Structure 1
Amino acid sequence: MLLPLIILLASCILIPLTIRCLSGNLRAEKTPANAPDSGRLLPPGPRGLPILGYLPFIGPNLHQDFMNLALHYGPIFKLSLGRKLCVIVSSPALAKQIVRDHDVTFANRNPNVAAGVFSYGGRDIAFSPYGAEWRLLRKIFVHKMQSKQSMDSFYPLRRKEVRKMVAELYNGGGGGGGEVDVGRVAFTTVIGMISGMFWGGTLGNGDGDDDVAKVVGGEFRSTASKLVEVLGRPNVSDFFPILARFDLQGVKKEMKRVSGGMEKIFDFVIDRCIDDMMNKPRSDDDHNGQQDFLHSLLEFKDQDTGNSITRQQIKAMLMDIVIGGTDTSSTTIEWAMSELIQHPEVKKIAQQELTRVIGPDSVMEESHIPNLPFLHAIVKETLRLHPVAPLLLPRCPTKGCHVGGHFIPEGTKVFLNVWAMHRDPEFWEDPTSFLPERFLNENDEQSTRSLDYLGGSFHYLPFGSGRRICAGLPLGERMVMYVLATLLHMFDWELPEGVVADTKEKFGVVLEKVNPLVLVSSPRLPNLSLYK
């Protein structure tokens, strides 16, 4: 793995400085926390090396390595990654203690250097410290963008992007058996949906012929893609905070540049939106169908002066949706298609359900989603095997706390390995197999049929649980279901000749496929006018 070599090189160059700066910390760590008779015994775990900790022994797929270590050390263990003390939990029972029994204690995040930049120092929903400000931001986000009424009002903007996707697939090769990068198509469609919901009513009212909307939309797509890429880069500063001031790999500088580009887009559109609101007063009827998220945020700021939010907080919330809603949704779609292409019998059942519900002479609409139980089961099973955030976002206790009889000191990075929990053979029958029907089995004694995304069962936590459960869950579920159903209903899919499918994983900001999924598409419905 390249990262330990980089860290080792940096440590060798700066080792005199590092030792001097850390010597006080090393002495400070010799506290009763490690004394067996103090009642503050840390979890077991591998020792690692001086300064570097266990970094040199960790491979690129942390979730897999952590599961293997749990087999040796148990469902809760500690290790040091550089100067960061980490605790990894792989047990549903212990996860419950963290996200329910001690939820307030573990309600804070510990953002890495790059995340600290794009979140304006933790002023967003994802990384803001738990407190009044975070509760206000989350309340605004949930009520203004995640409520059923709000999402229904954004539907025309989402539908426009899905219909555009179908036409481009057909005209760009789908009509004649062209090859399609499924992940790229899904990403482009999802980012189009999100930008439309951000400011669809501000730039040309969502009209794709508007030149300004085209330019801003193009810049937004490319900048969002770069933002996610920079966020996923390994960074020495995250493991050795004392070296952060040197920014040895330039990650902080690059994130400032890229997030600055995104901020300029946000500022331009916010100014445009404010001018629009000042010059064209909106009647109550204007709120139906085409009101975008930006108008909603700015109107909330004007109407609720007692609990207003700043321009920076608005931009931080928009940045959250870019990071949390694009790659997560498009990657889930790609993983689902990857599993379906390897299980044609499952794909056939899904397409039969779509034909039965939608009909062979109609297109997929979001209103069909509640009537697609098998497709829901496919998405649930995809997220069981391939959770987009296999370790979730790490939690950081605000004070020392006992979990499973072990003491976790304040400031520790705590990871919940949901990837391992989703493959626990004590709960899941045949845990490594793709079996969507497990979520439909009414006779299942383990009640997997009743599992949902809300974190009530700690055996299944694809979006987390407790106060810090993913705020964008309702929107993400809608987008994934809508795009995936459309791809399956409108087209037939197969692998290119000579290509063998695989499910090799790559750990990063999200759990991606090592090899992008490239498939051959062909129209599935007889009425070709539906593709235009």
Structure 2
Amino acid sequence: MDEIISGQALFLFSCFILSCFLIFTTTISRRRSSRWAATLPPGPPRLPIIGNIHLVGKNPHRSFADLSNTYGPVMSLRLGCLNSVVISSRDAAREVLRTHDQILSGRYFNEAIRSINHHEFSVAWLHPSSPHWRLLRKLSVTQLFSPQRIEATKGLRMKKVQELINYMSESSDREEVVDISLASFVTALNIISNLLFSVDLGNYDSKNSSVFQDMVTGVMDSIGKPDLANFYPFLRFLDLQGNGKKLKGCSDRLFKLFRGFYDARITENSSRTDDGDVSSSDFLDALIDLNQGDEAELNIIQIEHLLLDLFAAGTDTNSSTVEWAMAELLRNPEKLTKVQDEINQVIGQNCVVQETDISRLPYLQAVVKETFRLHPAAPLLLPRKSKTDVEILGYLVPKDTQVLVNVWAIGRDPSEWENPTEFEPERFLGKDIDVKGRDYELTPFGAGRRICPGLPLAVKIVPLMLASLLHSFDWKLPDGVVCEDLDMDMDETFGITLHKTNPLHAVPVKKRSRH
């Protein structure tokens, strides 16, 4: 009997100890959860299952900006199964892009990117710790974007911009309406295709150029558009919105084009009887050198994906920025007159704009910066991913969270900019603010180790194209279109890059000689 009583006492004592332990651990867990919740960024209430997906909309950069007005510059969203944090202020962007750049330099891969395995080869999506990323980055910088290469290819850019002016002149003689979007795309396309392959892929009078534009914008749109598969991984195989199929279709056509150039160059090189002119070698030659021999550093698949990055980003972003600048100037005639007067005064009515002239045109530079502020090419940059828990402006961003920097919202932040929605280039005059990743209120190219490697080329192409168009012609809207109509027609189509939904059309009018 004593043994039974002793056993029951031991059992009851054990239950008591276990109960105390459970109560203690539950209390600690609740306290920890409470502290965790208190340090997470604020955000809108979440619905069951979908979280905040219903708040994204067709233009996430605008939706996120509106939400940030309520929930602050570091905002937490739950998009289905995906935890996201949206950054919407200069100070928060500085912490992401500089202070915690290393922790936040990873990428979140959406399902469209995965559909073509682009994340395994792309300089834009690989992690900076990857040896392959370092190789691609070094190759891009040294062969395309170094000061020496930028200077060496200045004549090419001048030639292609002059071809744009010649096309506009012919259109002016015929009093034709010009598609500014397509014309600027053809110019950017031919600059990039000559840097890569030493050929013109665009023709101002050919429908093939619009096909290239459709392929490139198709790539950008399918990568950037919201997709249910990104929010619910179990829906991946369905591709309900067709983004994966669209990206695969566009990229396969571009890969076929790149492979054709590659194979043709191999055949051409093998038929040479001498070493050829090394000074005339292009980027494709550099890629072939890295693909040859027993210790090849790049295979053909890696080369195709690198060319996709360079081709798409170099054509799409430059041309769309020129189009946005022209649209803003046409709807603000006094700004248009002001920048044209500056160009005429500095360069002269009958001279050709040179790249070296841009540094003497402060108002033109201000127009370009103002365009980048209002219409950044990549409104949310590319999505980052936190490698570990990290603190941003006192808020905890948990490991594996998607982090989006809304540079579109930062460019329109009323605490940073006076009259933030107005096109006022004057705000940059006399101020040392640039787009090179040092001023976090204006970072259309990003900053830190993830800054766009093509920035040095972009800041040459865009001002030169814009200055040349403004110097050579006056501009008027098509018959029946007035500035008020254009003011209402600034709708955007969201993707990785931001396009004008309805392409800008205008009529170039030759300026009369003042001699």
TM range, normalised to the smaller chain? Answer: 0.7 to 0.9
What residue is the counterpart of 1:487 in the other structure?
Answer: 469
2: distance between equivalents of 1:246 and 1:117? 12
The answer to whether the 8 A contact 1:174-1:523 is kept is yes
Contact 1:496 1:520 in 2 (8 A): yes
Residue 145 of structure 1 pairs with residue 144 of structure 2:
yes
Give the distance between the partners of 1:207 and 1:57, measured in 2 at CA: 41
Matched, 1:518 2:505: yes
Partner of 1:98: 96
Deviation at 1:221, TM superposition (A): 5.3
Q: 1:195 and 1:225 mapped to 2: Cα distance?
A: 16
2:59 aligned with 1:61: yes
Of stretches 72-81 and 363-372 in structure 1, the one that deviates more from structure 2 is 363-372
CA shift for structure 1 position 128: 0.7
Letter in 2 for 1:479: I
CA shift for structure 1 position 111: 2.4
The structural deviation recorded for 1:154 is 2.9
Structure 2 distance, partners of 1:193, 1:431, is 33
Whether the 8 Å CA contact 2:123–2:136 is kept in 1: the answer is: yes
In structure 2, relative to structure 1, the CA distance for the partners of 1:230 and 1:319 (3 Å cut) is: same
Structure 1 485/475 Cα, relative in aligned 2: closer, same or farther at 3 Å? same
For residues 206-242 of structure 1, the C-alpha deviation after alignment (integer angstroms, 9 at most, x for no partner) is 6999xxxx99988755543443344355432122111
1:342 is aligned, of 331, 337, 343, to 331
Aligned-pair distance for 1:384?
A: 0.8
Q: CA deviation at 1:45?
A: 0.8
Paired letter, 1:181: D
Contact 1:351/1:488, CA 8 A, preserved across alignment:
yes
CA-to-partner distance for each residue in 1:457-511, whole Å, 9 max, x for gaps?
Answer: 2122111111101111111121111211111111111122332212333332322
Q: Scaled by the length of structure 2, what TM-score is found?
A: 0.85
Deviation string, structure 1 residues 301-321 (Cα, Å, up to 9, x no partner): 569x97823322222221012
SS at match of 1:312: helix
For 2:463, give the aligned amino acid. Answer: M
> What RMSD, in angstroms, separates the aligned Cα atoms of the two structures?
2.9
Q: 1:506 aligns with which of 489, 493, 507?
A: 493
Tell me if the contact between 1:354 and 1:489 (Cα under 8 Å) persists in the aligned partners. Answer: yes
Aligned partner of residue 129 in structure 1, secondary structure:
coil
How far apart, in 2, do the equivalents of 1:162 and 1:269 lie?
Answer: 24
Alpha-carbon deviations, 1:390-416, whole Å to 9, x = none?
A: 211111011221222222122211111
1-structure distance, mates of 2:471, 2:400: 49
Letter in 2 for 1:419: W
**One-letter code of the match for 2:305?**
A
Q: How does 1:64-79 map to 2 (within 5 A)?
A: 64-79=62-77
Change (3 A) 1:227 1:59: closer
1:473 equivalent among 439, 451, 455: 455
Aligned positions of 1:14-163 closer than 5 A: 35-38=33-36, 41-118=39-116, 120-131=118-129, 132-163=131-162
Decide whether the 8 Å contact of 1:176 with 1:522 is kept in 2.
no
Matched with 2:397 is 408
Contact 1:33–1:40 under 8 Å retained in 2: no
Contact 2:220 2:497 in 1 (8 A): no
Q: Structure 1 residue 522: deviation in Å?
A: 1.1
8 Å CA contact 1:119–1:316 kept in 2: the answer is: no
Query: What SS does the corresponding residue of 1:428 show, helix, strand or coil?
Result: coil
5+ residue gaps, structure 2 = 1-28
Q: Which amino acid aligns with 1:466?
A: G
**Inter-partner Cα distance in structure 2 for 1:75 and 1:89:** 5
Q: Indicate the larger mover: 393-402 or 365-374.
A: 365-374
TM-score (norm 1): 0.83
Query: Which of the residues 182, 185, 194 maps onto 2:183?
Result: 185
1:291 aligns with 2:281: yes
Deviations, residues 230-279 of structure 1 (Å, cap 9, x unaligned): 43554321221111022233332332232111111111111222233333
SS of alignment partner, residue 118 of structure 2: coil
Structure 1 residues 221 and 431, CA gap change in structure 2 (3 angstroms): closer
Partner of 2:192: 194
> Aligned partner of 1:498: which letter?
G
Paired AA for residue 136 in structure 1? L
**Structure 1 residues 369, 420: closer, same or farther in 2, change over 3 A?**
same
Question: What CA distance in whole angstroms lies between the structure 1 residues aligned with 2:193 and 2:150?
Answer: 14
Q: 1:426 to 1:217 in 2, by over 3 A?
A: closer
Residues 393 and 283 of structure 1: is their aligned pair in 2 closer, same or farther, counting only changes over 3 Å? Answer: same
Residue 6 of structure 2 is matched in structure 1 by none
Q: Which amino acid aligns with 1:490?
A: S
Q: Which residue of structure 2 aligns with residue 231 of structure 1?
A: 223
User: 1:326 Cα deviation (Å)?
Assistant: 1.9
Preserved contact between residue 366 and residue 478 of structure 1 (Cα < 8 Å): yes
Aligned residues: 479
Structure with bigger gyration radius: 2
Corresponding position: 1:428 with 2:427: no
Separation in 2, partners of 1:58, 1:299 = 46
Show the counterpart of 1:9: none
Which residue identity lines up with residue 121 of structure 1 in the other structure?
H
